[in-house]
C-alpha cells in the first residue's frame, strides 16, 4: 500500500474591521462544506508566499500582501497528509469568489472550530480567544 500523498498548503488569515474572510469548500472537494481560510496547494518549486499570492488571485480575484506566518500544522487525514501554513495577510483589492464558492466575513466570536477542517481547529480556537 502506497503512503498517503503529502501536500503543502498555504492559507491566508485576513482580518478586516474585526472580521475574518472565510470561504466554504465546494461540493465534491476534499472536506466539502467546511469553512476555511482561503489558499491552496503549493506547486513544485513554489515558495509559500508565491503560492498564497497565486491562490488568492485565482480564488478571489485580488492581490494579497503576505505578512508573517502565524501558525503551521501537519495533519494526517486517511487519504493524505497536509502540511498547512497560515499567514497573516491583507488584501490589496475587493475579493470576489471566482470558483463558485461561498465567501463571508465572520466575527472572531462566531468562528466555530467544528465548521472548519480538523487541521484548522487549533488556529480557530486561538483566534476565538484573542481579543
Torsion from C-alpha of 29, 32, 34, 37, nearest 10 degrees: 10
| 60-81 burial: b if 16+ Cβ within 10 Å, else e | beeebebeeeebeeebeeeeee
Distance (Å, whole) CA 129 – CA 5? 33
Return the pLDDT at 1.
65
Return the pLDDT at 131.
60
CATH number of the domain encompassing residue 33: 3.90.79.10
Hey, what's the cell of 75? 495533519
Return the pLDDT at 78.
86
Rounded CA Rg of the chain: 14
Q: Tell me the HSE value of 112 on the side-chain side, using a 13 A CA sphere.
A: 5
Other beta carbons within 10 Å of 31: 15
Return the pLDDT at 98.
94
Report the domain count for the chain: 1
Alpha helices (runs of H) in 24-78, residue ranges in sequence order: 48-60
Distance (Å, whole) CA 49 – CA 33? 26
Ordered per-residue pLDDT tens for the chain, 131 residues: 666 789 999 999 999 999 999 999 988 888 889 999 999 999 999 999 999 999 999 999 999 999 999 999 999 988 889 999 999 999 999 999 998 899 999 999 999 999 999 999 999 999 998 76
118 is in which domain, residue-wise?
Answer: 5-129
Amino acid at each position: 500500500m502506497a503512503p498517503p500523498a503529502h501536500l503543502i498548503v498555504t492559507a491566508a488569515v485576513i482580518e478586516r474591521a474585526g472580521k475574518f474572510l472565510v470561504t466554504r469548500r465546494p461540493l465534491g472537494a476534499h472536506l466539502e462544506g467546511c469553512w476555511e481560510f482561503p489558499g491552496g496547494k503549493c506547486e513544485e518549486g513554489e515558495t509559500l508566499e508565491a503560492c498564497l499570492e497565486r491562490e488568492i488571485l485565482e480564488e478571489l480575484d485580488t492581490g494579497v500582501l503576505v505578512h508573517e506566518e502565524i501558525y503551521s500544522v501537519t495533519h494526517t487525514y486517511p487519504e493524505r497528509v497536509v502540511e498547512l501554513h497560515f499567514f497573516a495577510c491583507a488584501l490589496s483589492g475587493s475579493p470576489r469568489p471566482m470558483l463558485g464558492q461561498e465567501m463571508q466575513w465572520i466575527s472572531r466570536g462566531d468562528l466555530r472550530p467544528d465548521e472548519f477542517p480538523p487541521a484548522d481547529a487549533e488556529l480557530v480556537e486561538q483566534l476565538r480567544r484573542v481579543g
